Amino acid sequence: MRAHMATWARLLEVKGDAEYVTARATGSDLISQTFWHNAPSVMLSGFALENLLKGILVARDPSRVGSAEQLFSWGHDHDLVLLAADAKIALSRTEQRVMRRLTDYTTWAGRYPSARKVRHMAARTHAPTGGATWDGADNEVVDRLYGSLRQMLEAEIYGNQANA
Protein backbone atom coordinates (compact mmCIF):
# COMPACT_ATOMS: atom_id res chain seq x y z
CA MET A 1 0.00 0.00 0.00
CA ARG A 2 2.80 2.39 0.90
CA ALA A 3 4.52 1.68 -2.41
CA HIS A 4 1.34 2.52 -4.32
CA MET A 5 0.92 5.75 -2.35
CA ALA A 6 4.52 6.70 -3.11
CA THR A 7 3.93 5.91 -6.77
CA TRP A 8 0.77 8.05 -6.82
CA ALA A 9 2.65 10.89 -5.14
CA ARG A 10 5.51 10.60 -7.63
CA LEU A 11 3.08 10.41 -10.53
CA LEU A 12 1.24 13.54 -9.39
CA GLU A 13 4.48 15.33 -8.62
CA VAL A 14 6.10 14.50 -11.96
CA LYS A 15 3.08 14.66 -14.23
CA GLY A 16 0.84 17.10 -12.39
CA ASP A 17 -2.85 16.86 -11.57
CA ALA A 18 -4.14 17.81 -15.02
CA GLU A 19 -1.97 15.30 -16.84
CA TYR A 20 -2.91 12.59 -14.34
CA VAL A 21 -6.64 13.25 -14.85
CA THR A 22 -6.18 13.12 -18.63
CA ALA A 23 -4.15 9.92 -18.39
CA ARG A 24 -6.79 8.28 -16.20
CA ALA A 25 -9.65 9.36 -18.44
CA THR A 26 -7.95 8.08 -21.60
CA GLY A 27 -6.53 4.92 -20.04
CA SER A 28 -3.07 5.93 -21.18
CA ASP A 29 0.06 3.86 -20.67
CA LEU A 30 1.02 6.17 -17.82
CA ILE A 31 -1.55 4.48 -15.60
CA SER A 32 -0.91 0.92 -16.80
CA GLN A 33 2.86 1.27 -16.42
CA THR A 34 2.42 2.65 -12.93
CA PHE A 35 -0.06 0.14 -11.54
CA TRP A 36 -0.27 -2.97 -13.69
CA HIS A 37 3.38 -3.84 -13.21
CA ASN A 38 3.66 -3.67 -9.45
CA ALA A 39 6.60 -5.32 -7.74
CA PRO A 40 4.81 -8.44 -6.44
CA SER A 41 3.34 -9.26 -9.86
CA VAL A 42 6.75 -8.90 -11.51
CA MET A 43 8.26 -11.06 -8.76
CA LEU A 44 5.68 -13.79 -9.39
CA SER A 45 6.46 -13.70 -13.12
CA GLY A 46 10.10 -14.22 -12.21
CA PHE A 47 9.21 -17.12 -9.91
CA ALA A 48 7.23 -18.74 -12.73
CA LEU A 49 10.28 -18.65 -15.01
CA GLU A 50 12.52 -19.79 -12.16
CA ASN A 51 10.29 -22.79 -11.51
CA LEU A 52 10.28 -23.74 -15.19
CA LEU A 53 14.09 -23.51 -15.35
CA LYS A 54 14.48 -25.59 -12.20
CA GLY A 55 11.94 -28.07 -13.54
CA ILE A 56 14.00 -28.45 -16.72
CA LEU A 57 17.16 -29.00 -14.65
CA VAL A 58 15.50 -31.65 -12.45
CA ALA A 59 13.84 -33.36 -15.44
CA ARG A 60 17.28 -33.68 -17.04
CA ASP A 61 19.02 -34.74 -13.83
CA PRO A 62 16.75 -35.96 -11.00
CA SER A 63 19.79 -36.34 -8.71
CA ARG A 64 19.72 -32.53 -8.31
CA VAL A 65 16.96 -33.00 -5.75
CA GLY A 66 18.52 -33.31 -2.30
CA SER A 67 17.32 -34.23 1.16
CA ALA A 68 14.08 -33.10 2.77
CA GLU A 69 15.98 -30.42 4.73
CA GLN A 70 17.28 -28.78 1.57
CA LEU A 71 15.57 -30.02 -1.54
CA PHE A 72 17.62 -27.97 -3.93
CA SER A 73 21.13 -26.64 -3.73
CA TRP A 74 21.47 -24.45 -6.81
CA GLY A 75 24.28 -22.20 -5.69
CA HIS A 76 22.81 -19.12 -7.35
CA ASP A 77 19.56 -18.49 -5.51
CA HIS A 78 17.05 -16.77 -7.79
CA ASP A 79 19.49 -15.67 -10.52
CA LEU A 80 17.53 -16.47 -13.68
CA VAL A 81 20.41 -15.85 -16.08
CA LEU A 82 22.64 -18.31 -14.21
CA LEU A 83 19.81 -20.87 -14.02
CA ALA A 84 19.28 -20.57 -17.78
CA ALA A 85 23.02 -21.00 -18.36
CA ASP A 86 23.02 -24.02 -16.04
CA ALA A 87 20.17 -25.48 -18.12
CA LYS A 88 22.18 -24.71 -21.29
CA ILE A 89 19.47 -22.42 -22.60
CA ALA A 90 20.76 -19.66 -24.87
CA LEU A 91 19.21 -16.26 -24.21
CA SER A 92 19.20 -13.28 -26.53
CA ARG A 93 20.54 -9.98 -25.18
CA THR A 94 16.99 -8.75 -24.68
CA GLU A 95 16.04 -11.94 -22.82
CA GLN A 96 19.16 -11.63 -20.63
CA ARG A 97 18.28 -8.01 -19.79
CA VAL A 98 14.72 -8.97 -18.85
CA MET A 99 15.90 -11.99 -16.83
CA ARG A 100 18.35 -9.75 -14.93
CA ARG A 101 15.52 -7.33 -14.20
CA LEU A 102 13.31 -10.20 -13.03
CA THR A 103 16.13 -11.42 -10.81
CA ASP A 104 16.07 -8.04 -9.03
CA TYR A 105 12.40 -8.65 -8.28
CA THR A 106 12.77 -12.29 -7.23
CA THR A 107 15.66 -11.52 -4.88
CA TRP A 108 14.48 -8.30 -3.25
CA ALA A 109 12.32 -5.75 -5.12
CA GLY A 110 9.16 -7.87 -5.00
CA ARG A 111 9.42 -8.27 -1.23
CA TYR A 112 11.25 -5.32 0.33
CA PRO A 113 11.04 -1.53 -0.11
CA SER A 114 14.76 -1.36 -0.79
CA ALA A 115 17.59 -3.73 -1.56
CA ARG A 116 19.19 -5.60 1.30
CA LYS A 117 22.62 -5.36 -0.35
CA VAL A 118 24.24 -2.12 -1.50
CA ARG A 119 25.39 -3.69 -4.78
CA HIS A 120 21.75 -4.19 -5.80
CA MET A 121 21.14 -0.45 -5.60
CA ALA A 122 24.15 0.44 -7.76
CA ALA A 123 23.79 1.25 -11.45
CA ARG A 124 24.06 -1.86 -13.62
CA THR A 125 23.66 -2.57 -17.33
CA HIS A 126 20.03 -3.65 -16.95
CA ALA A 127 19.27 -0.89 -14.40
CA PRO A 128 21.35 2.17 -15.33
CA THR A 129 19.79 4.31 -12.60
CA GLY A 130 20.24 1.63 -9.95
CA GLY A 131 17.60 -0.21 -7.99
CA ALA A 132 14.98 -2.29 -9.78
CA THR A 133 13.34 -1.22 -13.02
CA TRP A 134 10.53 -2.66 -15.10
CA ASP A 135 9.13 -1.70 -18.47
CA GLY A 136 5.71 -2.83 -19.62
CA ALA A 137 7.28 -3.97 -22.91
CA ASP A 138 9.25 -6.54 -20.91
CA ASN A 139 6.02 -8.46 -20.35
CA GLU A 140 6.02 -9.62 -23.98
CA VAL A 141 9.50 -11.05 -23.51
CA VAL A 142 8.37 -12.79 -20.31
CA ASP A 143 5.36 -14.27 -22.12
CA ARG A 144 7.57 -15.63 -24.91
CA LEU A 145 10.09 -17.03 -22.44
CA TYR A 146 7.33 -18.65 -20.41
CA GLY A 147 5.91 -20.34 -23.50
CA SER A 148 9.25 -21.62 -24.75
CA LEU A 149 10.43 -22.78 -21.30
CA ARG A 150 7.14 -24.55 -20.72
CA GLN A 151 7.49 -26.36 -24.05
CA MET A 152 11.06 -27.34 -23.13
CA LEU A 153 9.94 -28.70 -19.77
CA GLU A 154 7.08 -30.66 -21.33
CA ALA A 155 9.49 -32.08 -23.90
CA GLU A 156 11.87 -33.12 -21.11
CA ILE A 157 9.07 -34.80 -19.18
CA TYR A 158 6.95 -36.28 -21.95
CA GLY A 159 9.39 -36.45 -24.85
CA ASN A 160 8.09 -35.71 -28.29
CA GLN A 161 4.54 -36.60 -27.22
CA ALA A 162 4.13 -33.10 -25.70
CA ASN A 163 4.19 -31.46 -29.13
CA ALA A 164 2.17 -34.14 -30.95
Residue 128: exposed, middle, or buried by beta-carbon count in 10 A (0-12, 13-18, 19+)?
A: exposed
pLDDT at residue 36 in the model? 47
pLDDT score of 112 more than 80: no
134/38 Cα distance (integer angstroms):
9
CB 24 within 8 A of CB 31: yes
80/135 Cα distance (integer angstroms):
18
Q: How confident is the model at residue 123 (pLDDT cuts 50, 70, 90)?
A: low
pLDDT digits (tens, 9 = 90+) for 34-46: 444 578 888 999 9
pLDDT score of 82 more than 50: yes
CB 43 within 8 A of CB 105: yes
Q: Which of 131, 122, 105 is nearest to 48 (CA)?
A: 105
**Range list of H helices, the chain:** 2-26, 29-35, 39-60, 80-86, 93-104, 118-121, 138-158
pLDDT at residue 68 in the model? 66
- Angle 27-33-38 (CA atoms, 0-180°, nearest 5)? 125
pLDDT digits (tens, 9 = 90+) for 5-19: 444 444 444 444 555
- Which one-letter DSSP state was computed for residue 2? H
